[in-house]
Amino acid sequence: MANKHVKEMEALREHLGKHQLKLTRQRELILSAFLRQEHITAEAMYHQLAKSDPHLGLATIYRTLNLFCDAGLAQARHFGSQTKYDNVSHKGHHDHLICTGCEKIVEFENEEIERLQEEVATQNGFTIKTHRLELYGLCSRCRH
């Protein structure tokens, strides 16, 4: 299980080293669990990990997920009242199709859209660092 995520583990180590931070049991555990998901909230991860490690604090989950964001492994997305953390380590940037019926999330990438975004930004004198694109609607199953 651990050897599955060597690359991400290495990326975390590198970030820690650069910022005089330490590698802890909790950080390894949370990274491993995080990489098994596509999108997860801190709360959900807390409950999930409580089974194997009942004393892992919620604050630690939040701190660690934010650390992953700093390290470029995760990306936070705010949905209404909750924040979901996306795994962006192993794949490139991606956008989301979200079904408002069943909450299903489909990821997609579209080169052409990305290119047009750059174009719009340039026209307005902006240099884009990141972006978010979310399409909300009904999936084929929920349309009925």
Residues that bind DNA (CB under 7 A): 16, 20-27, 41-43, 53, 55-60, 62-64, 66, 78, 81-83
CB of 21 to a copy of itself, least distance (A): 24
Nearer to a copy of itself by Cβ, of 54 and 125: the residue is 125
> Are the CB atoms for 9 and 31 separated by under 8 Å?
yes
Crossing angle of helices 6-18 and 58-70, in 10° steps, is: 90
CA atoms of 38 and 76, how far apart (whole Å): 12
Binding site for a copy of itself (CB under 8 A): 78-81, 97, 99-100, 106, 108, 110, 112-113, 116-117, 120-121, 124-140, 143
CB of 78 to DNA, least distance (A): 7
CB of 8 to DNA, least distance (A): 16
The H or E element containing residue 88 is none
Q: CA–CA separation, 94 vs 122, rounded Å?
A: 21
First-to-final CA distance of the chain? 40
Is 53 or 107 the residue whose CB approaches DNA more closely?
53
Closest separation in Å from C-beta 93 to a copy of itself: 12
